[in-house]
Amino acid sequence: MYLYNSATHKKEEFKTHTPGRVEMYTCGPTVYHFAHIGNLRSYIMEDVLEKYLRFAGYDVNRVMNITDVGHLSSDADTGEDKMLKGAKRENKTVMDIAKFYTDAFFDDCRKLNIKTPDVVQPATGCIGEYIKIISKLVDTGYAYLAGGNVYFDSSKLERYYIFNDHDEEDLAVGVREGVEEDSNKRNKNDFVLWFTKSKFEDQALKWDSPWGVGYPGWHIECSGISMKYNGEYLDLHCGGVDNAFPHHTNEIAQSESYLGHPWCPHWFHVHHLNDPAGKMSKSKGEFLTVSLLEEKGYDPLAYRWFCLQSHYRKTLVFSWENLDNAAAGYTKLLSRIAALKPEGDVDQAVFGECRAKFLQQVGNDLNTSMAVTAVFDALKAKTNDATKLAVIGEFDKVLSLSLLEKAAALREKAAQMVQTGGGDYVITGEGDPDVDAKVLARYEAKKAKNFAEADRIRDELKAQGIEVTDVKGGASWKRV
């Protein structure tokens, strides 16, 4: 597989430390609020990446943290702890907030067919790991104490700006959310490894440490959790592009200083979902969640389909109109799959050819729009329906759009409708109840010897681009 690497700024052949095995880490959600669909775009694309790697034959160990402590309202360690903010907003405890929004996150993932990673670890469950790493960083001079907190000293590194596609202004501490600079820091890019009670008196969760009672910074949790479950050599680190700086830069700094060797060679960043006016933030208009999509009548998988149509390294422009177009396309695709008959033997040669082509095309920097095209190509392939269905089912191991299940449900729905209206008259079509009803009405007219009406309906359907063919015991129709 060829994958763009944010650390080297180029597309590279993906290689792993242990052949055939991928140690993969994903930055998980901060569970103080519902997940925005823009964040879920990252989890969808990472899910496709994981499934592609498994499809390509790798054994994947995927680890994800759940941030339930230490992530402040500015990624640059200033402001209030987001969890505490959530707890105050809802008048609940931090642990209640964490449980509620963790469950909500995984509900969204289920609806979007996002597989749960092999290991899911809340940050509060690995305090000992962080203390172990921080202690060594203090002992070796990479970290220092100031104002009751432990800071990582970025000046000790020869190379800090690893994802240097950010300009200097973006790197300025505190700029992101207009909060004050931390005067304890020796260098502007230093970051907190451990906070003590001196920082926040009302912090709900605190632990004992060699530096006083307190809690870990946000960045240290990903290094600690990854080293615990992925080992010292990580192959692939994923996250949203907004995590690249300072979060991932800081993860690399502390991990490599602790380990004394390179930590993770490959970095995968998913770009933003924006509205047509620019960045989509929580403060502009409606807060977009999976629940809101459902309330408005969208199938969450239509959103997954929408995401797959564009490349993960491009900004995806969200509008209701764009989502409507995607949803219509998804329904049309399902109708076309529903029209296939699961009869005959699978042509193994054709199946193998399609699979190999898919593997190669999608393996070019996770080209999901090519994967979508491959499904349409399978529908048009010169082979029998059983082979087409087998090929589409195989592709869906990566796409996870429930293509066969939803198409089968459509087929069943169409068949049920026909039985209630027309006895033994079976209509096979592309799963559109309105068209089925017209085809049935045409049959009723013919039965009543009202041929003029039957012809009129046939012409009406033809004008809509629908061709009806009489078959034994019923009729079949298709869009031409």
The H or E element containing residue 21 is: strand 21-26
Shortest reach from residue 43's CB to Zn ion, in Å: 13
Rounded CA-CA distance 405/402 in Å is: 5
The DSSP code sequence of 272-288 is -EEETTEE--TTSSS--
Interaction residues for Zn ion, span 294-353 (CB under 5 A): none
* Residue closer to Zn ion (CB basis): 27 or 350: 27
Stretch of 27-35, 106-114, 282-290, 462-470 contacting Zn ion, by CB under 5 A: 27-35
Alpha-carbon gap, residue 274 to 387, rounded angstroms:
39
Q: Using CB under 5 A, which of the segments 132-140, 195-203, 214-222, 425-433 binds Zn ion?
A: 214-222
Q: How far is the CB of 178 from Zn ion (least distance, A)?
A: 23
Minimum CB distance to Zn ion smaller for 24 or for 222: 222
Q: Interface with Zn ion by CB under 5 A: which range of 80-88, 215-223, 230-238, 289-297? A: 215-223
CA distance 403 to 401: 5
Size of the site for Zn ion (CB under 5 A): 2
Q: Which is nearer to Zn ion, 271 or 388 (CB)?
A: 271
Compare residues 252 and 399 and give the one whose CB is closer to Zn ion.
252
405: its two tokens: 């299940």
By beta-carbon proximity to Zn ion, the closer residue of 249 and 387 is 249
Nearer to Zn ion, 257 or 335 (CB): 257
Q: Which stretch binds Zn ion (CB under 5 A): 21-29, 226-234, 279-287, 460-468?
A: 21-29
Q: How far is the CB of 243 from Zn ion (least distance, A)?
A: 6
Applying CB under 5 A, among 222, 241, 399, 475 the residue interacting with Zn ion is: 222
Stretch that binds Zn ion, among 71-79, 185-193, 218-226, 395-403 (CB under 5 A): 218-226
Give the H/E segment covering residue 320.
helix 320-338
Q: How far is the CB of 100 from Zn ion (least distance, A)?
A: 22
Least distance CB 28 / Zn ion (angstroms): 7
Nearer to Zn ion, 40 or 222 (CB): 222
Instruction: Please classify residue 134 by burial: count the beta carbons closer than 10 Å to its beta carbon, then call 0-12 exposed, 13-18 middle and 19+ buried.
Output: buried
- The residue (of 27 and 112) whose beta carbon lies closer to Zn ion is 27
Asked if 27 interacts with Zn ion (CB under 5 A), we say yes
Q: Nearer Cβ to Zn ion, position 27 or 427?
A: 27
Least distance (Å) between residue 247 CB and Zn ion: 5
**CA distance between the termini of the chain:** 38
10 Å Cβ neighbour count for 116? 12
Give 30: exposed, middle or buried? Use CB within 10 Å, 0-12, 13-18, 19+: buried
Closest CA to 303 of 285, 275, 330: 330
| Amino acid code (one letter) for 255 | S
Three-state DSSP at 33 gives: coil
- The nearest distance, CB 213 to Zn ion, in angstroms, is 24
Shortest distance, CB of residue 222 to Zn ion, whole angstroms?
A: 3
Q: Which residues contact 223 (CB under 8 A, 6 or more apart)?
A: 133, 251, 254, 255, 258
Torsion of CA 294, 298, 300, 305, to 10 degrees: -160
Stretch that binds Zn ion, among 11-19, 24-32, 362-370, 381-389 (CB under 5 A): 24-32
Torsion-angle region of 260 (φ positive above 0: left; ψ -120 to 50: alpha; else: beta): left
Closest contact distance (angstroms) between CB of 121 and Zn ion is 12
Residues 144-163 that bind Zn ion (CB under 5 A): none
Q: Taking Cα atoms as reference points, which of 203, 248, 244, 240 lies closest to residue 222?
A: 248
For the beta carbon of residue 279, count every other beta carbon within 10 angstroms: 12
The nearest distance, CB 400 to Zn ion, in angstroms, is 24
Q: Segment contacting Zn ion (CB under 5 A): 26-34, 187-195, 288-296, 438-446? A: 26-34
* Minimum CB distance to Zn ion, residue 27 (Å): 3
Residue 393 Cβ vs Zn ion, minimum distance, rounded to whole Å: 34
Q: Which is nearer to Zn ion, 123 or 138 (CB)?
A: 123
CB closer to Zn ion, 240 vs 363: 240
> Which range binds Zn ion by CB under 5 A, 23-31, 326-334, 379-387, 424-432?
23-31
Asked whether the CA dihedral 86, 92, 98, 102 is positive or negative, the reply is negative
Amino acid identity at 344: G
Residue 27, burial from CB neighbour count under 10 angstroms (0-12, 13-18, 19+): buried
* 27 or 37: CB nearest Zn ion: 27
Contacts to Zn ion by CB under 5 A: 27, 222
